[in-house]
Amino acid sequence: MMIERAGVVGSGLMGSGIAEVLARAGLSVVVRDISTEAVEAGRTRITKSLDRGAERGKITAEDRDAALSRLTFTTELADLADCQLVIEAASENEEIKKVIFAELDAIVKDEEAILASNTSSMPIVRFAQSTNRPERVLGIHFFNPAPVQPLVELVVSALTDPAVVDTIEAFAKEVLGKVTIRAQDRPGFVVNALLIPFLFSAIRMVESGQASKEDVDLGMVNGCAHPMGPIALADRVGLDTCLFVGQSIYEETGDPASKPPVLLSRMVDAGLLGVKSGRGFYDYAKK
C-alpha cells in the first residue's frame, strides 16, 4: 500500500509536529482542528518549525516551501475523506477520541485506509471498537518533538491486522525515516511503562528531601550517562502529561511505582507544567 495522502486530527504540539513530519516526507497532508483559532495556531507552529529548520541548515529553503505547499488546514473532519492514513492527535480524553474514530470511520471512503492514534497511554482497542474496521486501527505513537525524535511506537491491539502493522512499519521506516518498535496494547506501551516509574521515583526523592532536584539530575547525567536528568526530563515532557500517563497506568495496573507523587499533582494544580508553561521544577522564563 503506497500512502500518499494523510490526515492529522489535532494541530497542537504533537499534531503539528506529526503533520510536519508527513509533509516533509512528501505526503499531501490535511490538518484538522476544532476552531479557526486552533487551526491558525497549528499553521503558525509548523511554519515556525520549518523556518527554524531552514535557518539551521537542517532543510533547504526549497524543502521548507515544498513542505508548506503540501499542507492543507481545515475545521471540517469531512475534508479527510480521501486520506489513506489518518492519525488522531487530539486531547487525551478517551470519550473525545472514541467519537473522532467513529466519525472518521464514517467519513474516510477508502476501505483500506488506516486509522491511528498518537495516544501515549490509552487502550487502542477501545478506539478500534468505535469503528467498523477495527482490524485497520493501531497506535502510532510519536515522541515530542516529532520532527526531531527518531522513535515511533507501533501499538498493536488484539484486533489489529498484522498486515496493517507491517505496512505502517515499512512506511515509518522507509518514508518517514523513523526508528520503530512494536508494543502490545498495554498500559504505557514500552517507553512510558519504563519511563514513568523512573521519573516518579526521582520526584519522590526530591519530595522527601532525600536529594535536591539538581543533585538528582547531576547524578543521573554524570553517573549513568543519561543525556538529561529525570527532573529536567519530566519538565520537558510536561508535568501534566506525566501525571496523566501515570494515572492511566496506575488505574489499570495498580502498580504503586506508577502512582503519581502528591508533589507532582500539586504542581499541575498550580499550573507549573514545565517547559511549556515557563516553569516547573525549574524556571524557564529567564532562559
- pTM of the entire structure? 0.93
Q: Quick one: pLDDT at residue 183?
A: 97
Residue 110 CB neighbour total at 10 angstroms: 14
**Pairwise CA distance, residues 1 & 175, whole Å:** 12
- Considering the four listed CATH numbers 3.20.20.30, 3.30.1330.200, 3.40.50.720, 3.60.20.10, the one that applies to the domain covering 5-184 is 3.40.50.720
Which of 118, 153, 157, 277 is the catalytic position?
153
**Among the options 16, 20, 117, 141, which is catalytic?**
141
Residues (pLDDT < 50) of the chain are none
Q: Which of 117, 192, 248, 277 is flagged as catalytic?
A: 192
Rg over alpha carbons for the chain, rounded to the nearest Å, is 19
Predicted local distance difference test score (pLDDT) of residue 121? 87
Distance CA 131, CA 139 (A): 14
pLDDT score of 79: 98
Say which of 16, 118, 120, 248 is annotated catalytic.
120
The pLDDT assigned to 285 comes to 85
Q: What are the domain boundaries of the chain?
A: 5-184, 192-276
> Class of the 192-276 domain?
mainly alpha
Q: Is 222 a residue of the active site?
A: no
Is 141 among the residues known to form the active site? Answer: yes
Give the SS3 label for residue 252. Answer: helix
Q: What is the pLDDT of residue 1?
A: 79
Res 208: pLDDT: 98
Is 120 part of the annotated catalytic residue set?
Answer: yes
Residue 16 designated active-site: no
HSE at residue 44, side-chain half, CA atoms within 13 A, is: 6
